[in-house]
Structure 1
Amino acid sequence: MGRFGRLPTVLVYCAMDYGYYRDALAGIAKYAGRKWRILITTDFPSANHLKGHHAVGFIGPITSPEREDIVRNAGIPGVNISSHLKTPRTAAVRPNNPVIGEIAADHLIDRGYRHFAVTDTSDKGYENDRVRGFVDRLAAQGYACTVLPRHLSEQGDDPRDPKALAALVKPVGIFMPHDRAAIRMLSKVVDANFNVPGDFAFVGVDNDVAFCTATLPNLTSIDPGSDIVGFKAAQVLDEMLANKRQPRAPILIAPRGVIARESTDLAKLNDPEIAGIVRYIREHACQGLAVKAVSEQFAMSRRTLERRFNQLLGRSVLDEIRRVQIEHARELLTQTDLKIETVSSRCGFEDFRCLIRQFRKHEGVPPGTFRRMRRMK
């Protein structure tokens, strides 16, 4: 027997059609290193398959109670990396789906959108959790959300599509709970000769890079931290193999955040000069940027700068600087354990008191409370 054949075998089911599962596989492999032999299957295994390979454990999406039974009856520990089952009976590691929706809402609000829409996911489980997070976040900020008819996010043209698109108040920010649905509707919008992101802005989920960058305009998407899900799932399996204890509840992984692309890119504005200023603010806001410095950089009087900026974006230059700073602060608070003072410094605030004051103004709660709320969900 070769040296790799002597390693314990962990069977990993990977639905290769989905970027989420491919990225999770990368995280599993990173944890496993050379301590396990990873055996990949692209079809959900049967009980005989699990037993026949003498696997010590299983990791993969378990999407039904029947599949749970297969893993449990095989007599080996399994870790579910799917969000389909609300109360799984196996160990589970999954993205924090309500927070994904919240991040999407924050991104569209920050981009200046005031009308919003989502697809109907009333019977879609984890997709509904993402949409609920989106809608609840909007409501907390005082915004309503339209529920779209399902045919707009389904494959193929529907004679009802043009009328449904025309009926939406524009500009409108659209959230779809996964990239494929977002791309399907985005294509219909482009075919109907609407402007993206001028009339419609789109945010998907999973950051499936091949899909997001192949479509035009490129799709903005939430990175759910799929590789971290995979890494943590492997760690949980390792702990179960060592002590036989299964976690009592699903372990939730905070999303990495927004991967902004053309479908929400305000730099694609009709005014090239203001578009350049928006890009400049994005790049320098967290370095302690002042409005005076922006005015001087673009050789424009402050009065003219403010007038043109407000006409196009509906907010002041300082508002845009603060928006970028707060957006970065939210990411750091969600994804790291950095102290508030460090977050303040990295976001370009004068001191941590200024961060607390501005964060409370934008989010309604201080940074520490925001961090705890995100992690409890």
Structure 2
Amino acid sequence: MTRFEECAAMLKGIAHYERSHRPWAAFLDDEARAEVDPHWVRSKKWQGVISRHTTPALARVCAEQKLPLVDLNDCPPLDGVAKIRPDNLALGHLGAEHFLERGYRYFGFSGFADQGWSGERRDGFVEALALAGHSCDVQDVAYPGDLTPFWDARQIATLSPWLKRIPKPCAIMACNDMRALQVISAAQTAGFLVPEEVAVLGTNNDTIRCELAYPPLSSVATNAFQSGYQAAEHLAALMAGETAELLDRRIEPLGVVTRQSTDILAMGDRNVAAAVSYIREHACHGICVEQVLKQAFASRSQLEKKFRRYIGRSPQAEIRRVQVAKIRQLLFETNFPLKKIAELAGFEHVEYMCVVFKRLTGDSPGNYRKKVQNKNLPKR
């Protein structure tokens, strides 16, 4: 996630712990003074620290002041500092499983060679593919730290020839959502359809970045809320004088949030690809099969036959599947009322949307929303 979105989710987890336990008088260091200014840390008698971007300087001053410190940064642990971070191997495994379920046989991973968290995600992706009997083409580069439009353009130019070498249709996982957007741009620059020829999956589920992408980016969601909650829980134990083994806890991901960049099955028929692409972009606008036929340049009987062969359902069923996927996304990511969700998913009547959703998922929209919201609650 972007720093803002991830930190906001972590703060919500911390606040949830604080509300359900003994209240804290917390100070939010918006300017990150504690990371670089030891005098600032010494200026007040703090009782404990949770840090998202922990530096060796901050760790040293906390040790000097005997301040309990919990580190939420996704990097190798500092000596004597408790750490909570994402389970990066599991993130990679989920990415591989997402693509394998869609029938892909050719895979790639693009990440940053000098970042440990990226390497762990790559290793999890490659390992899961190997267990299923598949290989993976890896393209790693050094992360510059200071991102500029010029570096972004150079990366797209480097990624395009790499993508051309991988047989199509192929599935590419990126180490984070920013890298995934570069992969999408590189694929489009090389003339490939996304996701019909190159499916792209990001990591972190930075929802703003994912939704601004074209097509919208699927991403493996970390659980920053749970990271924040467990950091607060562990800090409370340290402040209470409890002694424990040095912590380096990995937080399980929430799962894959599917958007258009991977919302397709691997296929080699251009008529079906064109039809599926049109459905993907317009299903939530209330389209009918006749409109799809015009885009696929095929008769209804031909297209029905090809759909059954390649994706195992009719064009009408595919329209409904895309609509239901949109409903699930909105139930997961927003608090919109059902009437608004029906409108955004292409249903004129909310009652009919509820009937379709329950028929295809076995759950009412209300029950589904409760389930996905409960996944974010702290584990006891």
Shorter-chain TM-score tier? 0.5 to 0.7
Q: Secondary structure at the match of 2:153?
A: coil
Partner of 1:291: none
1:214 is displaced (CA, Å) by: 1.2
Report the AA paired with residue 19 of structure 1.
E
1:210 is displaced (CA, Å) by: 1.0
The answer (yes or no) to whether the contact 1:99–1:255 under 8 Å persists in 2 is yes
1:273 is displaced (CA, Å) by: 11
Alignment of 1:57-72 (within 5 A): 57-72=48-63
In structure 2, the CA distance between the partners of 1:112 and 1:44, relative to structure 1 (3 Å rule), is farther
The answer (yes or no) to whether the contact 1:117–1:174 under 8 Å persists in 2 is yes
CA deviation digits over 1:285-322, x for unaligned, max 9? xxxxxxxxxxxxxxx99xx96x5345424xx56xx9xx
Report the AA paired with residue 270 of structure 1.
A
CA deviation digits over 1:171-216, x for unaligned, max 9? 1111112111111222222233321101111111111111111111
Partner of 1:141: 132
Partner of 1:156: 153
Q: Secondary structure at the match of 2:193?
A: coil
1:312 to 310, 313, 324: 310
Partner of 1:261: 259
Partner of 1:270: 274
CA deviation digits over 1:27-85, x for unaligned, max 9? 11222238112212242513222222322111122455444323322321011112201
Q: Secondary structure at the match of 1:93?
A: strand
Partner of 2:348: none
Partner of 2:64: 73
The answer (yes or no) to whether the contact 1:27–1:230 under 8 Å persists in 2 is yes
The answer (yes or no) to whether the contact 2:111–2:139 under 8 Å persists in 1 is yes
Q: Secondary structure at the match of 1:19?
A: helix
The answer (yes or no) to whether the contact 1:84–1:125 under 8 Å persists in 2 is yes
In structure 2, the CA distance between the partners of 1:67 and 1:177, relative to structure 1 (3 Å rule), is farther
* TM-score scaled by length of structure 2: 0.65
Alignment of 1:187-336 (within 5 A): 187-266=185-264, 269-271=273-275, 308-309=306-307, 311-313=309-311, 316=312
Partner of 1:21: 7
Q: Secondary structure at the match of 1:263?
A: coil
Partner of 2:114: 123
**Total equivalences in the alignment:** 285
Identity %: 25
Report the AA paired with residue 250 of structure 1.
D
> Structure 2 CA distance, aligned partners of 1:182 and 1:272?
22
Structure 2: segments with no counterpart, 5+ residues: 145-150, 266-271, 284-299, 322-360, 363-380
1:177 to 175, 178, 181: 175
1:120 is displaced (CA, Å) by: 4.5
Q: What is the root-mean-square deviation in Å for CA atoms of aligned residues?
A: 3.6
* TM-score scaled by length of structure 1: 0.66
Report the AA paired with residue 45 of structure 2.
H
1:269 is displaced (CA, Å) by: 4.8
Structure 1: segments with no counterpart, 5+ residues: 1-14, 280-299, 325-346, 349-377
1:152 is displaced (CA, Å) by: 11
The answer (yes or no) to whether the contact 1:224–1:257 under 8 Å persists in 2 is yes
In structure 2, the CA distance between the partners of 1:134 and 1:251, relative to structure 1 (3 Å rule), is same
In structure 2, the CA distance between the partners of 1:68 and 1:152, relative to structure 1 (3 Å rule), is closer
The answer (yes or no) to whether the contact 1:118–1:176 under 8 Å persists in 2 is yes
